[in-house]
């Protein structure tokens, strides 16, 4: 029992670490200026492969490669996942460095609602009434924010839909976090490296222009890989419902950074839209917690019947 409690604590701290680091990302990407979003994205892809390859080398985890190479369908889905997460990373970096930190945080607030919608539309899952209510309130929030911004919040929607698609593909592939990132980075590596060479030839690349700047670009690989490793450790040790609640730490941190650090303006209509999103997430979280309590009460009864 003590061992189980210790493992749960380790998992919880890893979850806090993963989402805590993701929540601080808006403070890191502006440090890479004057590099543009495409330059930063390409460097992130290249150095992510180096970082995750080093981690797998230290842990000697290579046995999964040969069986995977004999499964073209899984490889195809991983290639699609790589393209999807590239869109997510690129839009996120551009959004943060263009002064839209608050809207990028909105994308990750909306993401759980989009994931639920995908469950219905793609996986044919059946929603409980509270989940339907949360999706409805979330849809109303997007409409309010469209009016508030004078346009659809396309940065937030792109981030939410791309990450939900990425999660769906990862679920179907069923590969560990580090291994999956290694394959995804390997898929995008030749394109990213070719783009960096192209920028270098044109004199537009920023890698090599100062040791400090180059070190930060290299660090982007570790900053990508380390939270994912922490997330993988958490996913093995704590229930997914706990991870589902922890995931709100990242967008909350990003929202606070956007308002308090970058002083982005929040008109009353935007506050109203965000408030609706938060109401939807509270409904969703409350329903998940009620579901946990019901299952815990039901478990001893089922065990007694089975015995």
E strand or H helix that includes residue 205:
none
Q: From the CB of residue 136, how many other CB atoms can be counted at a distance below 10 Å? A: 13
Per DSSP, the three-state class of 177 is helix
The structure tokens 């849809």 sit at 139
Q: Is the peptide bond before 34 cis (omega within 30 degrees of 0)?
A: yes
Both structure tokens of 245: 């609640």
The terminus-to-terminus CA distance of the chain in angstroms comes to 22
What average pLDDT does the structure give for the chain?
Answer: 84
- Helices and strands, number each (H, E), in the chain: 13, 0
Give the mean pLDDT of 120-128: 74
Both structure tokens of 260: 């308090």
pLDDT tens digit sequence for 74-120:
899 989 989 998 999 999 999 999 999 999 998 988 888 887 777 77
CB 200 within 8 A of CB 46: no
| More reliable by pLDDT, 77 or 291 | 77
Both structure tokens of 68: 């995977």
Q: From the CB of residue 200, how many other CB atoms can be counted at a distance below 10 Å? A: 13
pLDDT tens digit sequence for 144-166:
888 888 888 899 999 999 988 88
Name the least confident of 113-122, 161-170, 206-215, 257-266: 113-122
Q: Is the pLDDT of residue 137 over 80?
A: yes
Give the mean pLDDT of 172-189: 82
Sign of CA dihedral 213, 54, 97, 197: positive
Both structure tokens of 221: 């690989």
């Amino acid at each position: 029992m003590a061992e189980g409690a210790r493992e749960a604590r380790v998992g919880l701290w890893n979850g806090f670490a993963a989402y805590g680091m993701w929540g601080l990302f808006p403070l890191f990407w502006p440090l890479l200026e004057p590099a543009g979003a495409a330059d930063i994205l390409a460097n992130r892809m290249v150095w992510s492969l180096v970082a995750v390859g080093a981690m797998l080398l230290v842990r000697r985890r290579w046995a999964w490669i040969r069986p995977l190479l004999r499964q073209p369908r899984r490889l195809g889905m991983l290639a699609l996942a790589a393209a999807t997460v590239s869109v997510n990373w690129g839009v996120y970096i551009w959004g943060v460095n263009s002064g839209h930190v608050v809207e990028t945080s909105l994308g990750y607030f909306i993401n759980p609602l989009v994931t639920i919608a995908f469950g219905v539309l793609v996986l044919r899952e059946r929603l409980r009434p509270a989940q339907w209510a949360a999706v409805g309130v979330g849809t109303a929030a997007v409409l309010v924010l469209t009016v508030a911004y004078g346009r659809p919040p396309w940065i937030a929607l792109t981030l939410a839909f791309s990450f939900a698609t990425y999660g769906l593909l990862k679920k179907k592939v069923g590969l560990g976090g580090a291994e999956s990132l290694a394959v995804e980075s390997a898929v995008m590596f030749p394109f990213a490296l070719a783009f960096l060479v192209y920028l270098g030839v044109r004199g537009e690349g920023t890698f090599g222009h100062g040791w400090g700047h180059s070190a930060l670009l290299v660090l982007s690989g570790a900053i990508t890989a380390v939270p994912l490793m922490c997330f993988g450790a958490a996913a093995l040790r704590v229930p997914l419902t706990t991870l589902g609640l922890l995931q709100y730490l990242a967008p909350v941190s990003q929202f606070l950074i956007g308002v308090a650090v970058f002083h982005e303006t929040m008109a009353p209509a935007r506050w109203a839209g965000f408030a609706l999103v938060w109401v939807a997430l509270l409904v969703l979280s409350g329903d998940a917690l009620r579901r946990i309590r019901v299952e815990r009460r039901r478990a001893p009864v089922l065990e007694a019947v089975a015995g």
